Structure 1
Amino acid sequence: MTEPAPSYLADVAAAYDGVADVYAELFADVLDRQPLERALLAAFADLVRDVAGPVADLGCGPGYASAHLHGLGLDVFGVDLSAEMVTLARRSHPELRFEVGTMTALDLPDCTLGGALCRYSLIHTPPTDIPAVLAEIHRVLVPGGHLLIGFLAADESTARVHAYDHRVAPAYRWAPGHLAEVARQAGLVEVAQLVRAAVEDERGRQAQLLARRP
């Protein structure tokens, strides 16, 4: 029997449907302004390029990160909750595959992906549901496959995870070490962390967690 989808998913999808055009315009060139993230994406590409299986951009939005990974030589496709975002991604990047779906129940067989990217897409998942999502990603990664997560960093000394006022939908900051521990409990081994200061209009420190399925 198929489990019902978590109720928050419909709300997040509707919120992003409503801002899809504005979001796509706002973030079209965001990677041009993020040299550290580009470097980590290049390292991620090097790690997964020779691993069997494609790369999934989970929460792909309008597809800019999918296109960037494709430009690095990866076989990549995108998945997003928002049908409007998927429509924009298909229009902007017709050479790539994009589909509507959810990280809570990926329409993929076990051990399918060489890599997965969650670039600021897990932030809308309630903390109690994160272990199940990471377990689902673990399920679809091949042994040796890598996961790269982008998120806003909470302060390790004050709160391991807390909600913040995101402009589109409820969202959460994570202490990088705590998220790494939750990933470990889901069977994923930490490879690296990157935390940097906010720049320009960013709303706090930016974090990246790279993990691997053993």
Structure 2
Amino acid sequence: MNILLADDHPLFTDAIERQLSVAYPDIVVHSVENLTAASALLSRLKNIDLAVLDWDMPGMHGPSSIESLLASYPGLKVVILSGRIDDGTVHEVLALGVKGFIPKSSPGSAIVSALSVILNGGTYIPVETALARKHKETPVIPAAGGSTKALTDREIEILKLLAGGHSNKEIARQLSVQEITIKMHASRIFSKLHVRNRVQAVSHALKAGLLGDDRPSN
């Protein structure tokens, strides 16, 4: 998994990179200090899974920069880091297609957790904003132990493909991601459902009525 981290504060990027390396041992973080360098790296590397961009770094000119970046790299998952949070800015960048807006005041572990939500197909909205209070809740499924765990839209999508008997490699090809990414998602699904393997996960999801009748077939 490849992540672009663009921020002009090296101490901050080093701290986030260490946290990400602990959470995802196979991750590769490409750190740059301005938007120009970020754009150059994106044009050179075609396998960036996530671009995490500082809202106030050199070269960043608000929504217009984000709009231009997304137009140049359609489908790129972009996350904004900012020391200033306001409803108007958050709403504007999310409307452009940004997948998350994360306060830089958050602890490193919380930032990594937010990035995990986005990597799993979700969207992260700061709880400080009014938009967060209106945002649709993440799908929840009862875990085998009786508690509840939130499954992201991407995790449910992968769970349905697992139910269809598809291998990790087949799912990765279908979703245009690396096989290791699917393994990571599957591991999180098993953890959230308190099960050990895909057979148990599918069985439990079926009993909970999560898969419905639209799950993929072989």
Point out the structure with the larger helix share: 2
Point out the structure with the larger strand share: 1
Q: Which has the larger radius of gyration?
A: 2
Structure number with higher relative contact order (C-alpha < 8 Å, ≥ 6 residues apart)? 1
Q: TM-score, normalized by length of structure 1?
A: 0.31
Q: TM-score, normalized by length of structure 2?
A: 0.31
